């Protein structure tokens, strides 16, 4: 069997999306172009790995009943004179019950003195209608120590993991994403040939937990499974990854609540 080290960016984070949190949300940034106003909402600081983002779209000051949003994050590495992008998950065409268009941005490196992320969003309010590009400007992205880089079949692969919703006792939905990139890291596509195992462990107590489910591929190109936290404290989630006869190894992710 072939063994690979994957490009790994793993961050456990809370992807809170409950009605109360959304209703009290304060936009991280607001920008307007022509008759389109766009608000970007997040549940905390942006970081390397998965980031649930929510957009409020206003047309002439009125919430849009539907819209097509195309997210364009760009990393400018000023010292090297280079730019690249990162994976995104496209928001739905219709807002959720709280009036937000939720999406996902998966940053692959932090911002810094000579490296900055900017975000623009192309907004189409009507099918086959005109597109308005709203510039949301520079975004601060915090670093995450849980990442590795590797080339697989000549392409970069980015793998992330996160919890959907607040961490809690019992079953928690585990979200896993995997994307490969072209040589310039500008275009990212989902990697859909992976298989996973998941084993939570509480090292301080010397036990694990039952009723866990390995992440499975969904129609949206993301993998979802279940991790069961049987008590509060510090946990390590062991995530094993394979693809056919190739094994990528097992990766350990600390998580506490």
- pLDDT above 70 for 22: no
Rounded Cα distance between 248 and 71, Å, is: 30
pLDDT of res. 16: 38
Rounded Cα distance between 156 and 194, Å, is: 15
* Domains, the chain: 8-14+144-256 (2.60.40), 19-142 (2.60.40.10)
How sure is the predictor about 165, in pLDDT bands with cuts at 50, 70 and 90?
confident
**pLDDT tens digits along 179-203:** 999 888 899 999 999 999 999 999 9
How sure is the predictor about 210, in pLDDT bands with cuts at 50, 70 and 90?
very high
Cβ-contact 224, 242 below 8 angstroms: no
Rounded Cα distance between 252 and 119, Å, is: 31
How sure is the predictor about 144, in pLDDT bands with cuts at 50, 70 and 90?
confident
How sure is the predictor about 175, in pLDDT bands with cuts at 50, 70 and 90?
very high
Mean pLDDT of the chain: 88
- For the chain, percent helix, then strand, then coil, each to nearest 5? 0, 55, 40
Chain Cα centroid distance, residue 225: 16
**pLDDT tens digits along 150-164:** 677 777 789 888 888
């Amino acid at each position: 069997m072939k063994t690979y080290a994957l490009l790994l960016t793993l961050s456990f984070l809370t992807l809170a999306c409950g009605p109360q949190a959304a209703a009290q949300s304060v936009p991280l940034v607001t920008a307007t172009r022509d008759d389109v106003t766009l608000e970007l909402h997040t549940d905390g600081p942006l970081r390397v790995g998965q980031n649930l983002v929510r957009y409020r779209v206003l047309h002439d000051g009125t919430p849009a009943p539907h819209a097509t949003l195309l997210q364009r994050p760009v990393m400018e590495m000023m010292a090297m004179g280079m730019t690249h992008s990162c994976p995104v998950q496209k928001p739905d065409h219709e807002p959720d019950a709280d009036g937000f268009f939720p999406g996902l941005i998966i940053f692959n490196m932090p911002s810094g003195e000579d490296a900055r992320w900017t975000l623009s969003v192309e907004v189409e309010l009507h099918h086959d209608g005109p597109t308005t590009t709203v510039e949301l400007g520079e975004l601060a992205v915090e670093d995450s120590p849980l990442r590795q880089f590797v080339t697989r079949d000549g392409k970069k692969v980015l793998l992330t993991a996160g919890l959907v919703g607040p961490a809690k006792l019992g079953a928690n939905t585990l979200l896993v994403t995997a994307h490969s990139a072209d040589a310039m890291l500008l275009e990212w596509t989902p990697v859909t040939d992976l298989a996973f195992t998941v084993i939570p462990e509480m090292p301080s107590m010397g036990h694990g937990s039952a009723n866990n489910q390995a992440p499975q591929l969904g129609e949206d190109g993301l993998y979802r499974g279940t991790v069961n936290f049987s008590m509060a404290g510090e946990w390590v989630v062991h995530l094993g990854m394979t693809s056919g006869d190739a094994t990528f190894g097992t990766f350990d992710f600390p998580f506490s609540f």
